[in-house]
Structure 1
């Protein structure tokens, strides 16, 4: 029976406990203050006792591939070398830090962000295959804009090599491990998914062939970082796909993929249930009405979505999705448990984990080997101090999602909900975030 305070071995790297900060968008970019922004965002979790910090998705190419404004790119070895200041700050508190590597593919800003498209008219989306019919219909209707470049077989190998090169830069800068972004509708999920992947080469067709790109990424990373650096990945099951989407990854598919990837050499897997679309299935909870009404972001929404009318349309769709994807505690628990029963590598669970008793039940039941939280860290950067210290602790986060929508404008991912901020202030005054190291 595992306990939260127990250490965990992931590919030869020992985590001091089983609580981790799940990947979030830090909005640090690559400017002169990027490293300081990352330190300010990530070091508090390490100082408060998190066993592992997963830096949010970082893009492996110089142009294109960003799913949101403010994502950090790690293609430049000189920039990544300066991130040693971040890894040293995390290590000073005894925590470990993994970098998450990503490319958005069809989900990139060159698809949905009107202002970005206008500023970069020559950028085309990287595509696994021709976009599915429903996405082409949204293009014709003006909601999205596609000018996709379908990757050739040789270009697929080149993209995997970019993941490997960026992983090597990160490890040289002191990162303890590599986390491949395999879900949230990025290009890795697009290769895995029969909804997106209609290729007829070695990377398409059967479930095994669709997994080949992720296996190739693993091999490229492993070749460059060696056998002693852990490599993990998220693995999707597209169980939240709408009923009209016939071709998608079922829960059985997700379990089988986890088995295959563990056999291929991944040192840990993170099973997550999602959709085939970038929608509220990723951040289940309330409709973020406060964020949509906030005048500070109105101009940014209009720039991102093309006009005030279109921004209102996106808000309306967001409201409809919030009705479909209500908050569900530990919504990946069943998936994680099924995977835990089939693989020998650690299984990490995240998604809707919000209180210490829930964490203890997940670990005691063998549903997973470690637990991660994401959005609650926007509300409480030093959250681990409370979760590790009190058996009945629960997060201050209210799952209102007002932290996420403004990120479409380039705003930082921070909590803006008065009741949550008041609760955090009260906890700070009580000394709840203080912790002896």
Structure 2
């Protein structure tokens, strides 16, 4: 049993406590201000005592593959070397920083962002296989746009090299480890999922073959970056659309078995997440963001992204329906994490809807500040670390309130209203836009709640 304040080691790297800032979209891009933007976004969490900072998904290639505007690319060693300023700042506070690597594949902006498609007519999506019939239907009726390039066997190997090369650049720049975006419908999940992967070469067919791409990425990272901490998300596609719309998907049992195989491959930790086969609110469960959709200053950006006012309204309606299906649920990956932890010996990291210190103590099997490690609920621990994402948009220095709290107010201010996430489709930064939350944060700031003791 462990407390949130206890250190943990992942493949030789000691992390000072078990709280981590889960990957978020920092909207920094690769421009001249990119490094400063990342420092502004990430350093406050480290300054507040958070043990591990996971920089949000960065793209391993120079074109295509971005799932949203403002994503940072890490294919260029000259640019990545500049990120040493960021890693130095994180280390100055005693924290560690991992870089999350990603490629969107069919989830990329080439699929859904109308203005981006118009500006890049020759740029198609990378696909593991021909898109499934459900996605081709969405293309025919004009909701999405697919012009995929199915990766050849040789090109799969080349993509894995890009992951390995970017990891090596990151480690050289001072990052402490690598985090693969193995879920949220990115290309790694697309390789692992029977919904997407219909390949007939060594990267498709059986469940074992569908894991050959993450195995190849592991080998490339080990060869190029060395024996550094390497973690990955592990998906279970349980929130996917119901049968008969989706009959081929990853069950919870499939996700548990995948985690076992990833441990055998050599991964150092896993992050089990229940996610859909399509890009929806299964990863940002919560309320319908009325304020975000009603923001007149953002409407032009929405229209550019979705293809006009009519399509903007259609996406808004879909967002409202999804908010009913995926309403707020505390620690929604807890059951999956527990099942994985029973079957692996590497650390399990939990994230998704964790909002209270008491929930963190339960997940870690700790009774919290009393120092008794017998487990407050009588259940074994579900994980070795707990992560929060959107709450750091609302409270950049949240760690100071959660670690060794001085008061009983140890819940986060974030109410999962999603007014921070929807505007990111326009390239707007990920910030809290809810007045009641901002007012309360100001009160806490004036009371010194975000100062480390």
TM-score (norm 2): 0.95
Name the CA distance, whole Å, in 2 between partners of 1:212 and 1:334.
Answer: 27
Q: Hey, what does 2:92 align to over in structure 1?
A: 92
Asked if 2 retains the 8 angstrom alpha-carbon contact of 1:356 and 1:392, the reply is no
The equivalent of 1:379 in structure 2 is 394
Equivalent residues of 1:15, 1:52 under 8 A apart:
yes
Tell me how far 1:226 sits from its aligned partner: 1.1
Question: 1:235-281: per-residue Cα shift (whole Å, max 9, x none)?
Answer: 00000011121100000000000000011100000000010010011
RMSD (Å) for aligned C-alpha atoms:
0.6
1:28 aligned partner: 28
Normalising by structure 1, what TM-score?
0.99
Shift of 1:11: 1.0
1:315-336 deviations in Å (ceiling 9; x for gaps): 0000000000011100000000
Residue of structure 2 equivalent to 1:261: 262
CA distance in 2, matches of 1:325, 1:235: 20
SS at match of 1:427: helix
User: Helix, strand or coil for the counterpart of 2:411?
Assistant: coil
8 Å Cα contact 1:331-1:352 kept in structure 2: yes
Q: Which of 401, 414, 420 pairs up with 1:397? A: 414
2:234 match: secondary structure: strand
**Kept in 1: contact 2:176–2:229 (CA 8 A):** yes
Separation of aligned partners in 2, 1:288 and 1:131? 30
Q: Supply the distance in 2 between the matched residues of 1:330 and 1:316 (Cα, whole angstroms).
A: 26
The gaps in structure 2 that reach 5 residues or longer are 366-379
Mean Cα deviation higher: 388-397 or 312-321: 388-397
Correspondence list, 1:188-207, <5 A = 188-207=188-207
| CA deviation profile, 1:327-356 (whole Å, cap 9, x unmatched) | 110000000011111111100000000010
Pairs within 5 Å for 1:299-338? 299-338=300-339
Hey, what does 1:414 align to over in structure 2? 431
Query: Contact between 2:5 and 2:404, CA under 8 Å: does it hold in 1?
Result: no
Separation in 2, partners of 1:385, 1:10:
23
Counterparts of 1:350 and 1:214, CA distance in 2: 21
Unaligned stretches of 5+ in structure 1?
Answer: none
8 Å Cα contact 1:267/1:346 also seen in 2:
yes
Match of 1:209 in 2: 209
Q: Tell me, what secondary structure is at the counterpart of 1:400?
A: coil
Is contact 2:167-2:221 (8 Å) kept? Answer: yes
Q: What is the aligned partner in structure 2 of residue 360 from structure 1?
A: 361
Partner of 2:39: 39
Match of 1:10 in 2: 10
Q: Distance in 2 between matches of 1:132 and 1:374?
A: 31
CA distance in 2, matches of 1:226, 1:112: 37
In structure 2, C-alpha distance between the alignment counterparts of 1:349 and 1:103, rounded to whole Å: 23
Tell me the residue number matched to 1:222: 222
In 2, the alpha carbon distance for the partners of 1:420 and 1:262 equals: 40
Supply the distance in 2 between the matched residues of 1:164 and 1:304 (Cα, whole angstroms). Answer: 32
Is residue 291 of structure 2 the alignment partner of residue 290 of structure 1? yes
Residue of structure 2 equivalent to 1:155 = 155
CA distance in 2, matches of 1:424, 1:213: 44
1:73 partner SS: coil
Number of aligned residue pairs: 435
The CA deviation at 1:389 is: 2.9
- Indicate the residue corresponding to 1:135 in structure 2: 135
Structure-1 residue corresponding to 2:442? 425
1:271–1:335 contact (8 Å) kept in structure 2:
yes
1:169 corresponds to which residue? Answer: 169
Asked if 2 retains the 8 angstrom alpha-carbon contact of 1:328 and 1:352, the reply is yes
Equivalent residue, structure 2, for 1:242: 241
Corresponding residue for 1:231?
230
Alpha-carbon distance in structure 2 between the residues aligned to 1:184 and 1:266? 19
Partners of 1:300 and 1:42 in 2: CA distance: 26
CA distance in 2, matches of 1:339, 1:296: 44
Cross-structure match for 1:273: 274
Asked whether the 8 Å contact 2:64–2:110 carries over to 1, the reply is yes
